[in-house]
C-alpha cells in the first residue's frame, strides 16, 4: 500500500511496478470493496491512460516528475466534476445517465500531469450533506469501520483514499465537505483559498463557497495535486490571478517555529467536543508550542452566526444553481410525455432527493420578495463581519487551529433525523468557506474506538504554502 | 454557543406550497407537513441574525476581490461530432430536427 | 383625441448588440446567414451556435465579453447617461424552456447606465424624454410551436442585449414613435446594433396607462409586448389607449397584464388569463465579479463616438439647407444618411452646388428608394442601386432631361438590374421631349381639338390647363416635359 506519490514514482523508476499493474490492483480492490465508494468505474479508460503512462516512462527512462508530476498515478474524482464522455451523476437520479460534453478544468490539469482516472466517487447528492447518507445510490461506508459514515459530502473520495481504493482523490468543499470526511477517514484534505482552483466543470452547489481540493494520504501528495490544479482559468470569472502554488517545495522545508503564532479562538473552545477529540486537539496544540510556536488566544466574535449565514447563502445560491435541472437539455425525464409544462417540470424535478428539495425550498424562501432583505441580504452583511473577524485575527496570528468536528465518525443513521444537529456539525469548518480562506484537515490521533480525529488549520488568504509547510512538519512528527 | 434561543417564526403549509411552486417542485402532502415543521425550526435559528448590527455594512457576495475579468470578443466555433451534429446536443433527452422537444408552451 | 383623459406611455427597448460572440461565451451571435443552397437569407441551423455554457450545462460558468460593456457605454454616452463605474450582474430567476439556466443573467439595482435622455420632435416643438436606465443582459432562446409540443432553439440564448428603459414621459402614440425612431437612429449610428427589426435586433415593449386629465395619480398600466415595427407600435398604443379609456369609462378597472398586438385586426389582446405573480428573486450573480469601469476607458470611448443623429441633422440643416423635417427623416437611419451623403458627394463631384441638390437627393432617397426597400423588406445598404444612380436622377430631372415619371421608371429598372441611369434612359427612351419644334404642332392640334376647354382656361379656370397638358402628353406618349408644356400653353393662351 502506497502513501506517497513519490514512493510510487520511485517504484516506477526502479521498474518494480508499472502504472498498469497498479491500476489493475486498484480496479480489483474497487470491485471487491463493499464501501460503495465509486459510482462509475472507468476501467477501460484508466487502463489506457496507465499504459500510455508506462510507455512514456519507458521512453524517457524515468518518470519526468517536473513535467508530469502525476504520471501513472490512479486517482478517484468526486462525481461532481464533469469529464467529457464519462457519466457524471452528482449522486442524483436527475443525472442518472448524464454524460457531459466537456471536462472540468481541474480534472484536465490532472490528466495533463499524467494522472490515471479510476472513476467517479460517491457523494451526498449535489454536495448537500455531511455524511454521504444523502446519495441516491446508497450511502458510503467508512474505510475501516463499516457501520459508520465517512463524512460528507466528499464521502466517496474520503473512503476511496482511506480504504486504498485510489492513491488520491479530488473532492469539493462548500462548508467542510473535504475537511470533514478527511477528518473522519484519517486522511489529508485541503480546501484551497476561494479562487485558487478553477470551478469550471464543478457542478455548482453554492457558487461563492464551492472549492475543489485534494484528499490524500500525505501532505506532500496534497501539495503535488494542488500545484498541478491551481492557477488562473480564463473560463472561470472567479478564478484568482495568483501564481500557481509551490506547495510541494514548502513541504520539503521546516517551518520557522519560533516565529509562528497559532491562534486559538475562544469561540471554538466552548465545550461540546467529544473527550477524545478534545484531548487530541489539545495535545496537538501543545506539540506546536513545544516546537517553539506561540499559542495566542484570539476572538472571532461573529462565529456564532456562521451556520445561519452559511445556510442562508448556500441554499439561496443552490436554489438558483439547481434551476437548470429541468429535463429540457439533459437529465432524466419522466417516461410519459407530459402535456403541460408545469407538470413536466414538477415530474422532472421530483428526481431530487429530500435533502436537496428541502434546501431548494429554503433557498427559494430566503430570496423571495418580502423575505430577501431579512435573510439573504442580512446574511451577506454578517458574512462580511465574519470575514473582518479573520482579517483582524490574522494581524496577530499566522494560523488558526482547532478541531474539524466535535466528534469522530458517527454511525450510519445516527444523526440524519435531526437536520439541525447535522448543521451544527459544520460549525468549525464553515467560517473558512464564508471568508474564502484556505484550510485543511490533518490527522492528529484516534479515539478509543480507533476512529480518526482531524486537526483543523486555517491560514490567511493565498497562504497555502505556509499551511502545508506546517501541516507537513506536524505530520512527520505526529503521523 | 451553549444556549441557542430558537424563536419560532410562523411558517405555514400555504407558504411551503407556494415556495414549492416557485421552485417547480412537487411535494406530497406528507412532505408539505414535514418540510413546514422543519422550516419553522430552522428559520427560528436564522432569526438570530436579526440581533447583529449591520447598518452600513456592505454585503459580501463573493469572497474574492478581483479586477473584472473580461473576454475578448472572439468567436469560437461550436463543437460538432463526426456527423456534424452539435456536440452539446448529445445529452439531449428528446429532440426533433435538432430542437429540444418539450411540452407545448402556450 | 380623448379630451378628459391623458395617456402615459413608457417604453422598454431590448437592443441586440452586434458583437461577434455572445455575452458570456464564445459562440457566434449570428442568427441569420446566407443559405448554402440558394442565395436567400435564412435562419442558422437549429442549435448550431451553442456550447455547454450557453446551453446551461452543469458546471459551466459565464465570462463577460468586453465589447458588450463597451457598447453599453457607447449607448450611455450617446444618451447623456451617467455611467456607473461599478455595476453588478444579477440573476433573474424563473422557469421557461428557452431559459437554459433557469435564470437570466441581467442587471437589477446597479445597472451600467442611469439618468439619460434624448430629444424628440413633436408637434409642439422639441421634447425631452428621460431614459431611466440602460443595462446589459443575455437574450433567451427561441421556441417553435409544432402540433402537440414545442421545440427549443438556443442559438439566440446568450446573445448580448442592452435594455433601454424610458421614464413614462410620452403622452401620445406619435411621441412614442418619435422616441423609438430617435433611439433606433442612435444605436444604428453607434454601430452597436444591426437594426434589423424583422430579425428582432430592436424589440419594443410599451407600458400604457390612462388617467383623468390633470391628475397626478398614474393609472394601472398594461404592457404591450413584442411589436416589431414602429408603425405598428404607434397603432397598438393608440388602440390600447382607447381600450383603457373605455374600460375606465364603463366603471371597470384596467387589469395589469401583458398584451400582444394583432396587426391584422389592429387590436391588442390579453396574453395571460391570470396574471402570474412574478417573483424573480433577484440576487447578485456570484459567478461574476462586479464590473468596474475605468474612467479613462470611458474617455477613450467618448473619443471614438461617431457623429450622432442629432448632430448630423443639425449639420444637414446648416450646411445643406435641408428643412428640419427632411433632415430628420434622412437621418433616421444611419444607412440612409450614409447613402444620402454619398449621393451628395457624387453630385458635388459632378459640379453641383450641394445646397441646391441636397433637398431633391433627400426626397428621392426618403421617397422612392425607401418605398422600394419597404416593399421588398430589405435595407438600403442591400439595394442594387447606388448613390451614383440617384445622383444621376437628380441631375437629369433638374435639367429637365427626364420627367419625374420617367425618373421613377428609370429607378425601377435600375433597382432590378443596376444598369447606369444614362443607359436606361437611352434604352427605354425616357428622355423628355423638350424640343419646341417637335412640340409646336402637337400643341396647335390640341388647342384646335378642344376649344371648349381652351375657352374655359381663358375665362380663368386654371385647373383645365392640366387637362390640356394631359392631352398633349397622350399625343407624345408621355414624353413631353409637362412643366414646359404648361409654360408654352400659358404663353399661347393668355
Q: How large is the average pLDDT for residues B87-103?
A: 94
Contact A166, A143 (CB under 8 A): no
Spatial distance between the Cα atoms of C435 and B9, rounded to a whole number of angstroms = 99
- Compute the distance between CA of residue A447 and CA of residue A442 in angstroms, rounded to an integer: 15
A479 band by pLDDT with thresholds 50, 70 and 90 = low
Q: Is the pLDDT confidence value at C20 over 70?
A: yes
Give alpha helix (H) positions in C156-292: 173-190, 230-249
In a domain, B104, yes or no: no
Helix (H) or strand (E) holding C222: strand C222-227
Structure confidence at residue B82 as a pLDDT band (50, 70, 90)? confident
Please state, for a pLDDT cut of 70, what percent of chain C lies above it: 97
**Nine cell digits for residue C471:** 392631352
Please tell me which residue, B72 or C431, carries the higher pLDDT value: B72
**What is the ipTM metric for this complex?**
0.96
Give a yes or no: residue B12 inside a domain: yes
Q: Please give the distance of CA C208 from its chain centroid, rounded to a whole number.
A: 21
Nearest-CA distance A99 → chain B (Å): 6
CATH 1.10.10.410 fits C436-493, yes or no: yes
Q: What is the pLDDT of residue C480?
A: 78
Tally the residues of chain C: 494
A-chain CB neighbours of B81 within 8 Å are none
- Residue B13 belongs to domain spanning: 7-51
Asked if residues A73 and A168 have their Cβ atoms less than 8 Å apart, the reply is yes
Contacts of B60 (CB under 8 A, 6+ apart): A380, A381, A383, A384, A387
Task: Give B-chain residues touching C99 at CB under 8 angstroms.
Answer: none
- Output the DSSP codes for A347-363: HHGGGS-HHHHHHHHHH
Q: Report the residue of chain B nearest A269, measured CA to CA.
A: B1
pLDDT in tens, A386-417: 999 999 999 999 999 999 998 999 999 886 55
Q: What are phi and psi of A186, to 5 degrees?
A: 75, 35
Nearest CA to CA, how far is C142 from chain B (Å)?
10
Number of domains in chain B: 1
Name the pLDDT band for C433 (thresholds 50, 70, 90): confident
Q: Would you call A237 and C288 a contact, using CB atoms and an 8 Å cutoff?
A: yes
Mean pLDDT of C476-480: 76
Which of A131, A157, A177, A366 is an active site residue? A177
**Percent of chain A surpassing pLDDT 90:** 87
Q: Does B6 score more than 60 pLDDT?
A: no
pLDDT value at C169 more than 90: yes
**What confidence tens digit (pLDDT) does each residue in B58-67 have?**
999 999 999 8
- Chains A, C: CB contacts within 8 A come to 104
Q: Which of residues 309-348 of A touch B (CB under 8 A)?
A: 309, 311-312, 319, 323, 326-333, 337-342, 344-347
Q: What is the pLDDT of residue A331?
A: 95
Residues of chain C in contact with residue B86, where contact means CB-CB under 8 angstroms, are 47-48, 50
Predicted confidence (pLDDT) at residue C43 exceeds the cutoff of 90? no
Q: Does C92 touch chain A (CB under 8 A)?
A: no
Grid cell in block for residue A437 = 480562506
- Predicted confidence at residue B7, as pLDDT, reads 38
Q: Do B31 and A357 lie within an 8 Å CB cutoff?
A: yes
Q: Give domain limits for chain A.
A: 1-324+346-479
Q: What is the pLDDT of residues A89-134, one digit of tens each?
A: 999 999 999 999 999 999 999 999 999 999 999 999 999 998 899 9
Tens of pLDDT, residues A281-328? 999 999 999 999 999 999 999 998 998 899 889 999 999 999 999 999
- Round to the nearest angstrom and report the end-to-end CA distance of chain B: 53
Inter-chain touch A368–B19, beta carbons under 8 Å: yes
The H-or-E segment that residue C116 falls in is strand C113-122
Whole-prediction pTM:
0.90
Q: Which residue would you say has higher pLDDT here, A396 or C275?
A: A396
Cα distance between residue C334 and residue C381, in whole Å: 10
CA atoms of A346 and A343, how far apart (whole Å): 5
> Do B41 and A420 make contact, defined as CB atoms within 8 angstroms?
yes
Please judge whether C283 and A367 are an interchain contact, meaning their C-beta atoms are less than 8 angstroms apart.
Answer: yes
Nearest to B35 among A194, A309, A361 (CB): A361
Give the gap in angstroms from C-alpha B30 to the nearest C-alpha of chain A: 12
Q: Provide the grid cell at C192.
A: 452597436
Chain B residues in contact with C66 by the CB 8 A cut-off are 70-73
Predicted confidence at residue B45, as pLDDT, reads: 62
**B46·A311 Cβ contact <8 A:** yes
**Which one of B60, B86, B91, B101 makes the best mutation probe of the A interface by having the most chain A beta carbons within 10 Å?**
B60
**Cβ within 8 Å, pair C64-A237:** yes
CATH number, position B39: 1.10.20
Residue A83's closest chain C neighbor by CA?
Answer: C59
Tell me, what DSSP letter sits at residue C492? Answer: H
Look over chain C and give the mean of its residue pLDDT values, rounded to a whole number: 90
Instruction: State what percent of residues in chain A have pLDDT above 70.
Output: 97
Cell 444523526, located at residue: A415
- DSSP string for A415-453: STT-HHHHHHTTTTTHHHHHHT--EEEEEEEE-TTS-EE
How long is chain B? 106
Highest mean pLDDT among B13-17, C101-105, C384-388: C101-105
Q: Is the pLDDT of residue A250 over 50?
A: yes
**Is residue C276 classed exposed, middle or buried when 0-12, 13-18 and 19+ CB atoms within 10 A define those classes?**
exposed
Instruction: Report pLDDT for C371.
Output: 87
Of A308, A374, A382, the CB nearest to B45: A308
Q: Identify the helix (H) or strand (E) that includes residue B88.
A: none
With an 8 Å Cβ cutoff, are A100 and C57 in contact?
Answer: yes
Domain membership flag for residue B103: no
Residue C196 confidence (pLDDT) above 90: no
C152-165, pLDDT tens digit by residue?
A: 999 999 999 999 99
Domain boundaries, chain C: 5-301, 307-428, 436-493
From the list A127, A243, A176, the residue with the least C-alpha distance to A439 is: A176
Find the mean pLDDT for residues B67-89: 92
Please indicate whether, in this complex, the C-beta atoms of A101 and C57 are within 8 angstroms of each other.
yes
- For residues C234 and C171, what is the distance between their CA atoms, to the nearest angstrom? 12
Question: Does the pLDDT value for residue C114 go beyond 50?
Answer: yes
Using CA atoms, how far residue B21 sits from A189, A316, B15, in Å, is: 39, 16, 10
* Chain A CB within 8 Å of residue C101 CB: yes
Instruction: For residue B16, give the C-alpha cell.
Output: 411551503
- Nearest 5°: the CA angle A31, A128, A240 is 100
Residue C452: which residues within 8 A CB-CB, separation 6 or more?
A: none
Q: What is the DSSP letter of A378?
A: H
Chain C partners within 8 Å of A372 (Cβ): 281, 283
For residue A337, the chain B residue with the least C-alpha distance is B103
Q: Is the pLDDT of residue C231 over 70?
A: yes
Provide the pLDDT for residue B5. 33
Please give the Cα distance from C185 to A437 (Å, whole number): 51
pLDDT band at A33 (very low <50, low <70, confident <90, very high): very high
Helix B13-22 to helix A354-367 angle, to the nearest 10 degrees? 90
C neighbour chains, 3+ CB pairs within 8 Å: A, B
**Given the DSSP bridges, would you call strands A261-265 and A399-403 parallel, antiparallel or unpaired?**
parallel
Confidence check: pLDDT of A371 > 60: yes
- Give me the residue from A239, A380, A423 closest to B60, CB to CB: A380
Catalytic, out of A78, A120, A191, A415: A78
**CB pair distance less than 8 Å for A378 and B50:** yes
Whether residue B37 lies inside any domain: the answer is yes
Nearest to B58 among A354, A384, A427 (CB): A384
Confidence of residue C429 (pLDDT cuts 50, 70, 90): confident
Q: Give contacts of A237 with chain C, Cβ < 8 Å.
A: 61-64, 287-289
C51: enclosing H helix or E strand: none
The answer as to whether B13 is a domain residue is: yes
Is A368 catalytic? The answer is: no
C153 to chain B, closest Cα gap in Å: 5
With contact defined as beta carbons under 8 Å apart, do A372 and A366 qualify?
A: yes
- % of chain C residues with pLDDT over 90: 59
* Contact status, residue A404 vs residue A151, Cβ threshold 8 Å: no
Q: Would residue B27 count as lying in a domain?
A: yes
* CB–CB contact C51 B24 (8 Å): no
Cβ contact (<8 Å) for A100 and C103?
no
Residues facing A172 on adjacent strands: A212
Can you give the length of chain A in residues?
479
Closest residue to A382, CB basis, from B52, B79, B87: B52
Find out if CATH 3.90.1150.10 is the number for domain A1-324+346-479. no
Cα C469 to the center of its chain, rounded Å: 39
Amino acid at each position: 500500500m502506497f502513501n506517497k506519490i513519490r514512493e510510487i514514482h520511485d517504484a516506477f523508476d526502479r521498474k518494480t511496478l508499472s502504472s498498469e499493474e497498479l491500476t489493475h490492483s486498484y480496479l480489483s480492490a474497487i470491485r471487491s470493496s463493499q464501501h460503495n465508494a465509486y459510482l462509475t468505474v472507468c476501467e477501460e479508460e484508466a487502463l489506457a491512460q496507465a499504459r500510455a503512462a508506462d510507455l512514456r516512462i519507458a521512453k524517457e527512462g524515468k518518470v519526468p516528475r517536473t513535467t508530469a508530476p502525476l504520471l501513472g498515478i490512479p486517482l478517484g474524482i468526486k462525481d461532481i466534476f464533469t469529464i467529457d464522455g464519462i457519466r457524471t451523476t452528482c449522486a442524483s437520479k436527475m443525472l442518472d445517465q448524464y454524460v457531459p460534453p466537456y471536462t472540468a478544468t481541474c480534472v484536465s490539469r490532472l490528466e495533463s500531469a499524467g494522472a490515471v482516472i479510476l472513476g467517479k466517487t460517491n457523494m451526498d447528492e449535489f454536495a448537500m450533506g455531511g455524511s454521504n447518507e444523502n446519495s441516491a445510490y446508497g450511502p458510503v461506508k467508512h474505510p475501516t469501520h463499516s457501520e459508520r459514515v465517512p463524512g460528507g459530502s466528499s464521502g466517496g473520495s474520503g473512503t476511496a483514499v482511506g480504504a486504498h481504493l485510489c492513491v488520491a482523490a479530488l473532492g469539493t468543499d462548500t462548508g467542510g465537505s473535504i475537511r470533514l470526511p478527511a477528518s473522519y477517514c484519517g486522511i489529508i484534505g485541503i480546501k484551497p483559498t476561494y479562487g485558487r482552483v478553477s470551478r469550471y466543470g464543478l457542478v455548482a452547489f453554492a457558487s461563492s463557497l464551492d472549492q475543489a481540493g485534494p484528499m490524500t494520504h500525505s501532505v506532500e501528495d496534497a501539495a503535488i495535486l494542488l500545484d498541478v490544479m491551481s492557477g488562473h482559468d480564463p473560463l472561470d470569472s472567479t478564478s484568482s490571478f495568483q501564481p500557481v502554488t509551490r506547495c510541494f517545495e514548502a513541504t520539503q522545508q521546516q517551518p520557522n517555529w519560533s516565529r509562528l503564532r497559532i491562534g486559538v479562538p475562544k469561540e471554538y473552545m466552548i465545550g461540546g467536543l467529544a473527550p477524545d477529540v478534545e484531548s487530541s486537539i489539545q495535545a496537538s496544540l501543545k506539540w506546536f508550542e513545544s516546537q517553539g510556536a506561540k499559542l495566542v488566544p484570539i476572538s472571532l466574535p461573529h462565529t456564532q452566526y456562521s451556520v445561519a449565514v452559511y445556510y442562508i447563502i448556500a441554499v439561496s445560491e443552490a436554489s438558483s444553481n439547481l434551476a437548470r435541472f429541468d429535463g429540457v437539455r439533459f437529465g432524466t425525464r419522466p417516461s410519459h410525455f407530459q402535456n403541460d409544462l408545469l407538470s413536466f417540470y414538477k415530474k422532472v424535478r421530483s428526481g431530487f432527493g429530500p435533502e436537496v428539495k428541502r434546501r431548494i425550498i429554503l433557498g427559494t424562501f430566503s430570496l423571495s420578495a418580502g423575505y430577501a432583505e431579512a435573510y439573504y441580504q442580512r446574511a451577506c452583511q454578517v458574512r462580511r463581519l465574519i470575514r473582518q473577524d479573520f482579517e483582524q485575527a490574522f494581524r496577530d496570528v499566522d494560523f488558526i487551529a482547532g478541531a474539524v468536528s466535535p466528534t469522530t465518525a458517527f454511525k450510519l443513521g445516527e444523526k440524519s433525523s435531526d437536520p439541525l444537529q447535522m448543521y451544527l456539525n459544520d460549525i468549525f469548518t464553515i467560517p473558512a468557506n464564508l471568508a474564502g480562506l484556505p484550510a485543511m484537515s490533518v490527522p492528529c490521533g484516534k479515539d478509543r474506538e480507533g476512529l480518526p480525529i482531524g486537526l483543523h488549520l486555517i491560514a490567511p488568504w493565498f497562504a497555502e504554502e505556509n499551511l502545508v509547510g506546517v501541516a507537513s512538519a506536524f505530520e512527520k512528527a505526529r503521523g | 454557543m451553549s444556549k441557542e434561543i430558537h424563536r419560532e417564526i410562523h411558517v405555514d403549509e400555504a407558504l411551503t406550497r407556494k415556495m414549492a411552486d416557485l421552485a417547480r417542485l412537487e411535494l406530497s402532502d406528507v412532505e408539505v407537513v414535514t418540510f413546514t415543521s422543519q422550516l419553522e425550526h430552522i428559520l427560528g435559528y436564522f432569526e438570530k441574525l436579526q440581533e447583529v448590527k449591520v447598518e452600513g455594512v456592505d454585503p459580501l457576495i463573493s469572497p474574492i476581490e478581483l479586477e473584472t475579468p473580461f473576454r475578448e470578443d472572439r468567436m469560437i466555433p461550436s463543437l460538432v461530432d463526426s456527423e456534424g451534429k452539435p456536440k452539446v446536443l448529445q445529452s439531449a433527452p428528446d429532440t426533433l430536427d435538432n430542437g429540444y422537444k418539450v411540452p407545448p408552451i402556450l | 383625441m380623448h379630451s378628459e383623459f391623458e395617456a402615459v406611455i413608457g417604453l422598454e427597448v431590448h437592443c441586440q448588440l452586434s458583437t461577434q460572440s455572445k455575452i458570456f461565451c464564445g459562440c457566434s451571435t449570428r442568427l441569420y446567414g446566407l443559405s448554402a443552397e440558394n442565395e436567400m437569407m435564412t435562419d442558422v441551423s437549429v442549435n448550431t451556435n451553442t456550447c455547454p455554457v450557453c446551453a446551461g450545462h452543469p458546471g459551466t460558468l459565464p465570462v463577460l465579453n468586453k465589447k458588450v460593456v463597451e457598447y453599453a457605454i457607447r449607448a450611455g454616452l450617446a444618451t447623456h447617461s451617467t455611467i456607473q463605474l461599478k455595476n453588478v450582474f444579477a440573476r433573474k430567476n424563473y422557469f421557461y424552456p428557452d431559459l437554459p439556466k433557469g435564470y437570466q443573467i441581467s442587471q437589477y439595482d446597479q445597472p451600467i447606465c442611469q439618468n439619460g435622455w434624448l430629444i424628440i420632435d413633436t408637434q409642439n416643438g422639441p421634447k425631452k424624454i428621460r431614459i431611466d436606465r440602460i443595462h446589459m443582459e443575455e437574450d433567451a432562446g427561441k421556441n417553435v410551436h409544432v402540433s402537440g409540443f414545442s421545440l427549443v432553439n438556443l442559438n439566440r440564448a446568450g446573445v448580448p442585449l442592452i435594455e433601454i428603459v424610458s421614464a413614462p414621459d410620452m403622452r401620445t402614440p406619435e411621441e412614442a414613435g418619435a422616441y423609438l425612431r430617435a433611439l433606433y437612429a442612435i444605436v444604428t449610428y453607434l454601430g452597436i446594433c444591426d437594426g434589423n427589426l424583422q430579425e428582432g435586433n430592436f424589440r419594443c415593449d410599451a407600458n400604457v396607462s390612462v388617467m383623468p386629465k390633470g391628475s397626478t395619480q398614474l393609472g394601472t398600466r398594461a404592457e404591450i409586448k413584442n411589436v416589431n415595427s414602429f408603425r405598428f407600435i404607434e397603432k397598438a398604443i393608440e388602440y390600447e389607449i382607447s381600450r383603457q379609456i373605455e374600460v375606465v369609462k364603463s366603471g371597470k378597472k384596467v387589469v395589469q397584464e401583458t398584451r400582444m398586438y394583432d396587426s391584422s385586426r389592429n387590436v391588442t389582446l390579453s396574453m395571460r388569463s391570470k396574471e402570474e405573480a412574478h417573483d424573480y428573486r433577484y440576487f447578485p450573480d456570484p459567478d461574476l465579479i462586479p464590473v468596474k469601469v475605468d474612467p479613462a476607458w470611458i474617455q477613450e470611448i467618448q473619443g471614438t463616438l461617431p457623429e450622432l443623429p442629432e448632430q448630423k441633422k443639425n449639420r444637414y440643416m446648416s450646411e445643406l439647407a435641408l428643412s428640419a423635417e427632411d433632415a430628420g427623416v434622412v437621418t433616421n437611419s444611419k444607412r440612409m444618411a450614409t447613402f444620402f451623403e454619398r449621393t451628395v458627394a457624387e453630385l458635388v463631384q459632378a459640379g453641383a452646388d450641394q445646397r441646391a441638390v441636397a433637398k431633391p437627393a433627400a426626397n428621392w432617397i426618403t421617397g422612392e428608394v425607401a418605398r422600394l426597400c419597404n416593399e421588398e423588406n430589405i435595407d438600403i445598404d442591400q439595394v442594387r442601386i447606388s448613390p451614383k444612380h440617384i445622383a444621376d436622377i437628380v441631375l437629369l430631372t433638374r435639367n429637365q432631361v427626364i420627367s419625374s415619371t420617367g425618373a421613377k421608371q428609370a429607378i425601377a429598372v435600375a433597382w432590378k438590374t443596376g444598369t447606369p441611369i444614362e443607359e436606361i434612359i437611352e434604352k427605354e427612351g425616357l428622355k423628355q421631349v423638350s424640343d419646341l419644334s417637335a412640340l409646336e404642332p402637337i400643341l396647335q392640334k390640341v388647342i384646335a381639338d378642344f376649344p371648349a376647354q381652351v375657352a374655359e382656361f381663358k375665362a380663368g379656370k386654371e385647373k383645365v390647363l392640366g387637362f390640356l397638358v394631359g392631352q398633349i402628353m397622350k399625343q407624345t406618349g408621355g414624353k413631353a416635359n409637362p412643366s414646359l408644356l404648361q409654360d408654352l400653353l400659358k404663353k399661347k393662351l393668355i
